[in-house]
Structure 1
């Protein structure tokens, strides 16, 4: 890895968003496999999507907090909001879903998960 790439990945928000999107992709793949190979019902998919988004935001907040070394709640919460806005923007552009109470609940959930991940990340830094 060259020095420019290392500098970019030490930036807390960029690294956090990268990790959050990677975990989102892994969670979406896992949910797809569950739908295809098990008797998992699509009616349960909404709640599981919240779990995947929360976990992805937590991991992103953890990564951002660990790299920031202070203000983990700030970096993690900011990451959660940015992550939530990205998800809402993509859902609006891809499926023409309008803003609703579901969007607000998603934003609050990923804000809390990201902030908690940031707090844990700062405190586990060596």
Structure 2
């Protein structure tokens, strides 16, 4: 019978594959969140003043989901896979922001990146403890 449990990393490279999948899941989650918020801003009386809070919420959800996915896929060292996934997401978003808009560097942006890494760590710890069926 076929195994439909999803891709399994090879024993020689579990970290790269798990983190890559976690990062892809994080970015896809963020994209879905962005589309939902953009739709809500267009079709509801939602104010643009709430946009910074909504974007940070999207980032947090994306990192948690990606870290959960990466750590669950790896099956061990959830804190490690969650931290690397959170760091990869924070760096990817920072690079995209710096190349696509007039963004100025601020201590708040650095703190947000550090928070995303810490949140990724917690997501990884939770994800590694989820049972695979």
Q: TM-score, structure 2 length as denominator?
A: 0.84
For residues 124 and 106 of structure 2, the distance between their equivalents in structure 1, rounded to whole angstroms, comes to 27
- Match status 1:117 vs 2:97: no
Bigger Cα Rg: 2
Return 5+ residue gaps in structure 1 as ranges.
1-5
For residues 125 and 110 of structure 1, the distance between their equivalents in structure 2, rounded to whole angstroms, comes to 24
- How many residues are matched? 122
Tell me the residue number matched to 1:72: 78
- Match status 1:90 vs 2:100: no
Tell me the residue number matched to 1:41: 47
Q: TM-score, structure 1 length as denominator?
A: 0.89
**Kept in 1: contact 2:70–2:82 (CA 8 A):** yes
Return 5+ residue gaps in structure 2 as ranges.
1-6
| Structure 1 runs, 4 residues or longer, greater than 3 Å off | none
